[in-house]
């Protein structure tokens, strides 16, 4: 029996398949960081920390001995409960193709955005500093006129080049900024196309609804690392005659190795 206790849930294999499929779709749709940083793992549910590769001197236990402690960063565990109706679950066995899986999609999106916020914006309680605070580059304010975004992106790509950071470069955009970029044109050419041409070696423009503003970062590898212990999983909590309560769960942490490889943008909504 695993720690998820799925076998205790009054859910058929067919219903589990639909729930898992909806969860995967929603999580991927709302997740941006996993497309942009290195991902290590899953390391297993028993993984509690990742090494930082450093040590700190501590008091020796006796004369003639030199002692150190190895530095590590703990993984955090996130859990998002959600409830499904027994009717929606049982209808799958009756041949239903339209069971109400909104709670699955909503909870998956919530977890994906919490993960992204930790990586991009930081999560102090979990010991994660995040890209915005780690970045050595001065943040660039996005212009009030979206048609001037290419100029701001040029400044950012120049900053990466001057820091000897190679591409490809990818651009993560908040939901508001992404909408502006996709709805605006300049001289008949969509702003998105202008931005895409500025990205080195075919980098991506990524919708990142959890962030504020935008981030330009190198995706050459080796600069940013997310470590996963237990990957996103669905577990069973309890049920009654009318509903079943499940939960999403994952463990992870994040480290920035090259602060020069990211440029954050700030955005003030008009």
**107-122: pLDDT as tens digits:** 999 999 999 999 999 9
197 in a structural domain: yes
246 in a structural domain: yes
Count the neighbouring beta carbons within 10 Å of the beta carbon of residue 25. 14
DSSP state of 139: P
191 in a structural domain: yes
Tokens of residue 138, six digits: 């001065």
1 in a structural domain: no
Residue-number span of the structural domain to which 78 is assigned: 6-51+67-266
Average pLDDT, rounded, for the chain = 96
60 in a structural domain: no
Count the neighbouring beta carbons within 10 Å of the beta carbon of residue 59. 5
pLDDT greater than 80 at residue 200: no
Q: What is the pLDDT of residues 216-252, one digit of tens each?
A: 999 999 999 999 999 999 999 999 999 999 999 999 9
Q: What is the pLDDT of residues 65-88, one digit of tens each?
A: 999 999 999 999 999 999 999 999
The mean per-residue pLDDT over the stretch 183-187 comes to: 91
Task: Count structural domains, the chain.
Answer: 1
Determine contact, residues 36/206, Cβ cutoff 8 Å. yes
Parallel, antiparallel or unpaired: strands 169-173 and 214-218: antiparallel
Q: What is the CATH number of the domain that holds 233?
A: 3.30.2400.30
57 in a structural domain: no
26 in a structural domain: yes
181 in a structural domain: yes
């Amino acid at each position: 029996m695993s720690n998820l206790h799925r076998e205790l849930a009054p859910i058929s294999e067919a219903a589990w398949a639909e729930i898992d499929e909806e969860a995967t779709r929603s999580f991927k749709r709302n997740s941006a960081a996993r497309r942009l940083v290195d991902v290590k793992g899953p390391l297993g549910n028993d993984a509690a920390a990742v090494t930082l590769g450093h040590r700190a001197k501590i008091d020796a236990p006796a004369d003639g001995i030199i002692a150190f402690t190895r530095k590590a960063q703990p993984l955090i565990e996130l859990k998002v409960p959600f409830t499904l109706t027994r009717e929606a679950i049982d209808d799958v066995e009756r041949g239903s193709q339209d069971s109400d899986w909104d709670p699955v999609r909503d909870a998956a999106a919530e977890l994906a955005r919490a993960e992204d916020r930790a990586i991009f914006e930081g999560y102090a309680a979990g010991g994660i500093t995040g890209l915005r605070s780690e970045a050595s580059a001065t943040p660039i304010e996005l212009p009030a006129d979206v048609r001037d975004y290419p100029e701001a992106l040029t400044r950012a790509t120049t900053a990466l080049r001057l820091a000897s950071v190679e591409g490809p470069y990818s651009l993560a955009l908040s939901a508001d900024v992404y909408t502006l970029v996709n709805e605006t044109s300049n001289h008949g050419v969509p702003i998105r196309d202008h931005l895409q041409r500025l990205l080195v070696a075919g980098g991506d423009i990524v919708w990142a609804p959890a962030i504020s503003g935008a981030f330009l970062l190198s995706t050459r590898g080796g600069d940013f690392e997310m470590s996963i212990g237990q990957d996103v999983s669905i577990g069973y909590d309890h049920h009654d005659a009318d509903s079943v309560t499940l939960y999403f769960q994952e463990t992870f942490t994040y480290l920035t190795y090259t602060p020069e490889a990211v440029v954050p943008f700030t955005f003030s909504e008009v």
